[in-house]
Structure formats: C-alpha cells, structure tokens
Amino acid sequence: MRPLIFEEESGIVPPRPQRASRPARRVPFSARLARSVAGLAVLAALGGVALLGLAGSGFAAGQSAGSGASAAASGVSVQSGADLSAGRELYMQTCAACHGVQGQGVPRQGPTLQGQGAAGTAFALYTGRMPFPENGVPSQPRDKPILTQAQIQLLVNYVAHIAPGPTIPPVDTSGADIAAGRQLFINNCAACHGPDAAGGAIGGPGQQNGFPGVFIAPSLHSATAQTIGEAVVTGPGPMPKFNFPLKQIDEIAAYIKYLQSAPSPGGDALGGLGPVPEGYVAVAIGLVLILLFARLISRRPLE
C-alpha cells in the first residue's frame, strides 16, 4: 500500500458563485447545434426508432475518442532535474495566455491550474485535451496529443513546480486483481462511465446559470492505464477525486484494460450501451428483415 500524497488541496474548488462557469468539457453552441440539426434531420428521415439506434452507434463512435496516443505516457515519471527554464518558456508560449503566467488563471479565458500538479497536467496534455487548437473546443479528448512527448514532459515538470498537486501515480496493471478492480469500478466509476466503460451523459450545468454546456463522462475504451490513474487522483472537470491506495488504482486500471480487450462472446457489443441500441437492432434489423420476408412470401417476385 503506497498512499498517494496530495501536496496541495485548497484552491481547487472555485467559490460557489463561479461554479459551473468552467465545465471541463464544454462544446460550443454552434457545434452542438450542428450535431443537433444533423440528429433531428436523421430523426425526420428515418423515424424515431432509427434515432435510438443511431444514438447507440453514433455515441459509441463519437465518444470513444479517448486518449489513444498517450500510450507513450506509460511509465513516464517526473524528473526533478529536468530543465525548468525550458518548461517555463514553453509554458509562456503555449499556456500562459489563458492560464496566466503563474498558473493563476485568467478571468473569462482559462481556469486556475492550482492543485493540478503533474498528474492533472499530464492528463490534460497526453489526452490531447490541451492545448486546444485555435477555434477548437477546449477540454475535448483527441486521438493523439497536440504536443510531443518531450514538450509535455517539460510542461508537466514546470506546472508541477508552479501549481503543485498530485504526482503521477505509477500505475502498474500487471498482476492486479481484476475482480477487485471490477467491484471498485462498479461501485465508484460506473455511475457515470457506465458498466462497460462506454461513457455516459451526465447532464449539463446549464440549469443554474443558463450556460449551454453539456457534461459527458467519456468512454474509457481507449484510455491508457496511466491516464486512468491521473484522472482518478485529479478528478478532471466534474469528475470527483478519489484518494485510492495505488493498489486499488492498479486494480481499476486493470479492469478497464480488461474491458477494452475483452472479447464480447455474444457478438457485436452494440457500443456497450445496453437496451437502447438493442431495441434499435431488434426493430431496425430484426423486424425489418421479417417484414421483408413477409412481403416476399405473399408475392411471387419473379413474375
């Protein structure tokens, strides 16, 4: 049991009036509008039942964009002797405009980095959530990191220096008990990420302040063990923070890795989203096929 040390806890939580002003995953209204219009167009074209199924497949395809490329991050640890001044220079070019020169945050631009530490920084950079491209969407996971591994290493060291926080947990899934991991996952993670780690919609912050944002617990189907560990200890965005012993983090990561590679013995898993895509398949494939057969049975197609 190697308990993690939280170096700095205060200051992460914004004061109450500001809560929800910076959801971790926020999608601009235009993008949401475009997707909504597309969705409603499909609804009109294919009928409501089709919508359910497309929701299933679209969801699976759209949301599993996790952090595939941060496989490179495995085994990365913070080198205390790394070049802080090079990191500072990169920070000033890449991050300071929004997060402030001291990581204190800039009103209406970017949140404070206080308390993020190495783990939070590595999570944001290796999953491609940061830095986000111009006109891009902040905090959106991308297929691969925007920066190179060397650049990320410099930034991780530098931010850990100016905004101390959790260190990167050295996650090691080899030999971890996946049955224990499954129980931890169901009890702590599945409420948002789903039993199959396929992700889920967990509402939006718009109710209190009219902000048209939306929270998505992302699919973990391409998350690396390292990213999982970083997310557990930092609680990015609306996600709670967990102070699990490292052994339990190993177990959770091992179970998620198991889910990623587990065969689905019953056939196509339909996105791991449960009865909604199942109902869609039953109607859109099963019923349609049978109606087609019924039509053929009652007519002689060759005449």
Residue 186 in the binding site for other proteins (CB under 8 A): yes
CB-based burial label for 135 (10 Å; 0-12, 13-18, 19+): exposed
Question: In this structure, what are the phi and psi dihedrals at residue 181, rounded to the nearest 5 degrees?
Answer: -60, -40
Please report how close the Cβ of residue 74 comes to other proteins at its closest, in angstroms: 22
At its nearest, how many Å lie between other proteins and the CB of residue 142? Answer: 16
Q: What is the C-alpha to C-alpha distance for residues 169 and 59, in angstroms, rounded to an integer?
A: 30
Question: Which of helix, strand or coil describes residue 293?
Answer: helix
Give the nearer residue to other proteins in terms of CB position, either 25 or 88. 25
Furthest C-alpha separation in the chain: 83
Residue list 10-49, contact with other proteins (CB under 8 A)? 10, 12-16, 19-20, 22-24, 27, 31-32, 35-36, 39, 48-49
Nearer to other proteins by Cβ, of 87 and 166: the residue is 166
136 belongs to the binding site for other proteins (CB under 8 A) = no
Task: Specify whether the CB–CB gap between 116 and 165 falls below 8 A.
Answer: yes
- The Cα–Cα gap between 72 and 261 comes to 18
Considering only residues 60 to 79 of the shown chain, the ones binding other proteins according to CB under 8 A are 62-63
CB 166 within 8 A of CB 243: no
The residues with which 201 forms a beta bridge, in sequence order, are 216
Positions in 259-298 near other proteins (CB under 8 A): 259, 264-270, 272-283, 285-287, 289-291, 293-298
Name residues contacting other proteins, limited to 238-257 (CB under 8 A): 238-243, 255
Q: Does 104 bind other proteins (CB under 8 A)?
A: no
Helix (H) or strand (E) holding 265: none
| Segment interacting with other proteins, rule: CB under 8 A, options 6-14, 126-134, 146-154, 168-176 | 6-14
> Could you tell me how many residues of this chain bind other proteins (CB under 8 A)?
105
